[in-house]
């Protein structure tokens, strides 16, 4: 049984959570591209991300977890530079932003946490930082990132392919005890081929789910779950239409007219995801 909480104290906590949710709604901007962190096993999720279908709201606690992760990433880069004396380029000198690459007019985009120069004559490495709880951290230490965190491994393969770089420095920080662990991860062509095939399937208009039912564990934490399984009616837009396809300019062209369109027409039909066969 929990210790009793004064109503006024409870109101403070509730106000914090409400403030996070309101701020999220005010700044909500749905991504309209396939990113390295999207996850690449489910073609339906790739399709929904590519077209910018609405994401499910992120609860206040998870928002704070993400915020803490970003704060720690900044400290980790400082440790790499000031404690390990590594040369880390976390920002693109031309843009002042994260290093990034994009394909197909911005329909496919990846951002890296930085580039690392080991100053030993070897080429630059992609820097990928992840903060973890103790259980996940221990899995990484025991089995390596490919076996313990396949999504992170796939994320690195996409970045390596798009940047044209051969290896990545994957560094993890345990949020429970402040331990570090790191791994040098090399480009895996067969893994990238699998990722690329799924991305191409989404670009070609396929929308097959990885699961057969919404209660599947792989769907449980997906931010596109509602859009995928409930198919809520959206305001007509070309990118939501089953007759559209992404083009090299970053927009969507109509399969019926063969032209790039900016407004939905009377033949608009909202794209639906399909169940796993």
| Rg of the chain over all Cα atoms, to the nearest angstrom | 21
Query: Cα separation of 123 and 100, whole Å?
Result: 18
Residues 154/199, Cβ–Cβ less than 8 Å: no
Assign a CATH topology to domain 34-231. Answer: Lambda Exonuclease; Chain A (3.90.320)
Q: Can you give the pLDDT at residue 240?
A: 97
Integer CA distances (angstroms), 66 to 61, 62, 263, in order: 9, 6, 35
Taking the CA atoms of 23, 24, 30 and 31 in sequence, report the sign of the dihedral they define.
Answer: positive
Share of the chain above pLDDT 90, in %: 86
Return the pLDDT at 275.
82
- The pLDDT score that the predictor gives to residue 28 is 63
Predicted local distance difference test score (pLDDT) of residue 235? 94
Q: What is the pLDDT of residue 30?
A: 78
At 31, the pLDDT band (50, 70, 90 cuts) reads confident
Query: H or E segment at 6?
Result: none
* CB of 45 closer than 8 Å to CB of 224: yes
Give the pLDDT mean for 243-255: 95
Section 4-9 average pLDDT:
90
Q: What is the pLDDT of residue 261?
A: 81
**Tens digits of residue pLDDT in 57-85:** 889 999 999 999 999 999 999 999 999 99
- Model confidence at 164, pLDDT cuts 50, 70, 90, reads very high
Is the separation of the CB atoms in 215 and 46 below 8 Å?
no
Q: What is the pLDDT of residue 124?
A: 97
- Per residue in 187-196, pLDDT (tens digit) is 999 999 999 9
Domain ranges of the chain: 34-231
pLDDT tens digits for range 171-221: 999 999 999 999 999 999 999 999 999 999 999 999 999 999 999 999 998
Task: Give the tens place of pLDDT for each residue, 82-134.
Answer: 999 999 999 999 999 999 999 999 999 999 999 999 999 999 999 999 999 99
DSSP for 195-251, please give it. Answer: HHHHHHHHHTT--B-S-SSTTSHHHHT-TTHHHHHT-------GGGBTTEEE-TTSS
pTM of the full structure: 0.91
Characterize the bridge pairing of strands 244-246 and 114-117: unpaired
Q: Is the model's pLDDT at 277 over the cut of 70?
A: no
- CA distances to 103, 114, 146 from 91, in Å: 20, 7, 27
Per-chain mean pLDDT for the chain = 94
Give percent of the chain above pLDDT 70.
99
Residue 136 has pLDDT above 90, yes or no: yes
Residue 212 to residue 276: CA distance in whole angstroms: 5
């Amino acid at each position: 049984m929990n210790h009793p909480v004064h109503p006024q104290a409870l109101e403070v906590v509730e106000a914090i959570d409400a403030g996070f949710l309101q701020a999220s709604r005010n700044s909500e901007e749905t991504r309209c591209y396939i990113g390295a962190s999207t996850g690449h096993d489910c073609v339906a999720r790739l399709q929904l991300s590519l077209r910018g279908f609405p994401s499910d709201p992120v609860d206040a606690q998870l928002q704070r977890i993400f915020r803490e992760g970003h704060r720690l990433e900044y400290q980790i880069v400082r440790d790499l530079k000031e404690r390990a004396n590594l040369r880390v380029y976390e920002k693109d000198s031309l843009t002042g932003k994260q290093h990034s690459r994009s394909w197909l007019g911005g329909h496919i985009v990846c951002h890296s946490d930085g580039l690392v120069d080991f100053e030993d004559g070897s080429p630059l490495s992609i820097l990928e930082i992840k903060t973890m709880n103790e259980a996940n951290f221990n899995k990484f230490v025991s089995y390596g990132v490919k076996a313990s965190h396949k999504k992170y491994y796939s994320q690195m393969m996409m970045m390596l392919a798009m940047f044209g770089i051969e290896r990545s420095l994957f560094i993890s920080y345990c949020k429970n005890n402040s331990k570090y662990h790191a791994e040098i991860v090399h480009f895996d062509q067969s893994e990238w081929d699998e990722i690329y095939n799924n991305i191409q399937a989404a670009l070609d208009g396929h929308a097959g789910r990885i699961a057969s039912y919404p209660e599947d564990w792989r769907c449980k934490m997906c931010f596109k779950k509602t859009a995928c399984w409930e198919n809520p009616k959206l305001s007509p837009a070309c990118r939501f239409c089953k007759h559209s396809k992404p083009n090299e300019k970053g927009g969507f062209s109509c399969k019926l007219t063969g032209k790039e369109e900016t407004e939905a027409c009377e033949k608009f039909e909202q794209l639906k995801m399909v169940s796993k066969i």
